[in-house]
Chains A and B, each alone.
Chain A
Amino acid sequence: MRKVKTERLTYNYRKAARFLRYGVLAFFGIAVLTCILNIVFLISAGVVYEKKEAWYIYGERVMEALTLTQNGYTLDGKMAEEFEKNDQWAMLLDENGRVIWSIRKPEELKEQYSGPEIARMSKWYLEGYPVQMRVWDDRIMIVGMQKETMWKYNIEFSIPWMEFVKQTILIFFLINFIWVAALAFIFTKRFMRNRECARIEWIAGISHDIRTPLSVVMGYADTLEHSEGLPGEARQQAAVIRHQSVVMKELIADLNLTSQLEYSMQALRKEKVRPAEVVRSVAASFLNDSLPGELKMDVQIEKDAELLCVNADRQLFARVFRNLINNSIKHGGKREPVEIKIALWEERGKCLIRLEDNGAGYSEEVLRRLRSRKKAASGGNIRGLEIVKKIILAHGGKIRFGNGEEGGGYCLIRLRQMKR
């Protein structure tokens, strides 16, 4: 079980890297968004507060509007109107707690207040009326509102607690930040997976739909090619159609395989595979299908390597060698005969396979594209090699392409060995 898990991990490495990239992007995106949101919130809260402030009258303004004349205190007319409008009231106490001035004071309230009463209303309510207090020289200005219009609460914290908060507030925010980031990551991952699934299904669907009409094209082209009644030229043309249809068939299969390898792991049906056997059988089938003298294969398998096993998808594993040999034949530089050397050996517990041809070697451009990590839009002669690379990487192996000293191109594959 554990082994399977590790393999999955290796396979998932590239996927994880991609998710990580998107995760980091999403993380910063969300961080910036949070900042913007906070700023917007603060500003709008400020605006709302500003407006709210004008809603009720507080002590300072009353004190400014109140003037002491010979006839006692007089309130500015505008202020008095405002009191009316806001349904508020106010009173001024002297140093003994006696009411020396008031406006709209509820009748139930007393004319004089004791020290304890004043202390109490300074924090809470006066007979249920919410009040604000301002000390004005030796007097106390009390501005009140109607009952049930204002919520008041006193908070206090001990100094050590505030110290503790000061110290931990950073960690607290960090934890919040991480939590948000993790959430973003999970959502990104889910989003990516959905998108990938959709894409794989789309490609699989398209390739499925193309296959049936292509069968018909291939079938009739083949029939025409072999039909005796047609002139030679027409039959030649039918042969070209058939051949091109076969090329299309391979393209579709490649497309499907590439998308499967890129985005899902269901494409791999791993089993115990002996590379020696696969290499031999692929090499033999190429020799069997080639004309005499056209192709030379030199398969060297060390005695110890005979029994090497790897955990691989047999079909895909054979595909690796078919593609590599095909590439050597098609793009090796047309040197006749094409010579391909395949060696298989064990090194430090790994299974190594090296395939070398006598062609012109890989061009700089091809090597650069094969070595790049980018998922470049592949095409032309490199497609087969990219599939090789993808298959090997999907099996958790390593692959290197290069040119030998004598000119031919080589490909070195390193795979983890499986215990027999």
Chain B
Amino acid sequence: MNLYDCKILLVDDEKPLRDMVGSFLRGAGFHKVTMAADCLEAEELFALKEPHLVLLDVMLPDGDGFSLFKKLREFSEVPVIFLSARDEDQSRLRGLGLGADDYITKPFLPEELLLRVTAVLKRVYRVKGMQEKEVIALGRCTVDLGSGVATWNREAKDSTEMTLTAKEYAILQKLAQERGRIVTIDALCDAVWREENYGYENTLVVHIRRLREKIEEDPSHPKYLLTVRGLGYRLV
């Protein structure tokens, strides 16, 4: 399915905002955008259109977005992005966790909204354009994140393959996601060890060194996987 064929239901009681977001989404290529002004209309349209994504305002004239969300969840797993105008909602949404896919605090820039909408749609429906970028080029070395294999083209014909360990793979994947940006030690530890990731900094250094041995030409003078002193690492 094409990303832009996804049907989006926008629920907000403010007509100007509805028009603005609607026109922006259409402008961005989403041609199946439906709009509802309250819970009742939203439920009707939901049953009628079966949208792929719901953009839901928290404050609605006939109830709040949270309860509508729970209602929808009873029979549908549709991804929902909340639009919230109150700071207080943020914490509630964070705490909610049980399935709201994202939230945006008003006011927002259209790109921000578009970014989240596409991210959620890609994640949920695995639409095209997701798996293609899974090979990263680091000079003469290419790493296929699908298989976790680093391939070296030392000379034109001579190529060697090295398999990354699970931890090295996780580190490289995280760095590749944020390529060009600094990833802090903590974010890396979190990506590799998930919960309770304190005190792994030293182990991380060891894994980074091994990873460099596999992907860098000169591991003691890295060109791609750089250390940012005091903060973390960066993949350039």
Residue-wise, chain B 219-236 has the 8 Å CB interface mask toward A (1 for contact) of 000000000111110000
A99 on the B face (CB < 8 A) = no
Give the secondary structure class of B's interface.
mixed
Known A223-B24, A297-B231, A299-B230; judge A284-B107 contact (CB<8 A): no
A222 to B27, CA, bound (A): 12
- With contact pairs A212-B106, A223-B27 given, residues A284 and B20 touching in the complex (Cβ less than 8 Å): no
Q: Which of A213-251 contact B (CB under 8 A)?
A: 213-220, 222-223, 242, 245-246, 249
A253 closest partner in B (C-beta):
B87
**CB–CB A269/B87 < 8 A:** no
Q: Within the complex, what minimum Cβ distance (angstroms) separates B119 from chain A?
A: 18
| B183: A residues at CB distance < 8 A | 284
Q: B129 contacts which chain A residues (CB < 8 A)?
A: none
Q: Which residues of A contact B107 (CB under 8 A)?
A: 211-212, 214-215, 217-218, 245, 249
Chain A: how many interface residues by the 8 Å CB criterion?
42
B88 touches which of A204, A209, A301 (Cβ 8 Å) = A204
Best-buried of A212, A217, A222, A315 by chain B (most CB within 10 Å) = A212
Q: How far is the CB of B99 from chain A (nearest CB, A)?
A: 21
Q: Least Cβ distance of A72 to chain B in Å?
A: 98
A220 to B182 alpha-carbon distance, docked (Å): 33
Q: How far is the CA of A19 from the CA of B91 in the complex (A)?
A: 30
Give CA–CA (A208, B107) in the complex, Å.
Answer: 10
Q: Is the CB of A281 within 8 A of B184?
A: yes
Provide the residues of chain B in CB contact with A217, threshold 8 Å: 107
A307 within 8 A of B: yes
Of B27, B88, B109, B232, which contacts A284 at CB under 8 A? B232
A280 lies within 8 A of B186 (CB): yes
List A contacts of B17 (CB < 8 A): 212, 215-216, 219
Would you call A118 an interface residue if the criterion is a C-beta within 8 Å of the partner chain's C-beta atoms? no
> Is the beta-carbon distance between B86 and A204 smaller than 8 angstroms?
yes
Query: Are A280 and B185 CB-contacts (below 8 A) given A216-B20, A245-B107?
Result: yes
**Nearest 10 A-B pairs (CB), nearest first?**
A299-B230, A215-B107, A211-B106, A214-B107, A277-B186, A284-B182, A211-B85, A219-B20, A280-B184, A288-B181
Report B's interface with A, CB cutoff 8 A: 14, 16-17, 20-21, 23-24, 27, 59, 85-88, 90-91, 105-111, 181-187, 198-199, 201, 228-232
Q: A223-B24, A283-B231 are in contact. List 12 more A-B contacts (CB 8 A).
A: A207-B86, A209-B85, A211-B85, A211-B107, A223-B23, A246-B109, A249-B107, A269-B91, A274-B198, A280-B231, A288-B182, A301-B230
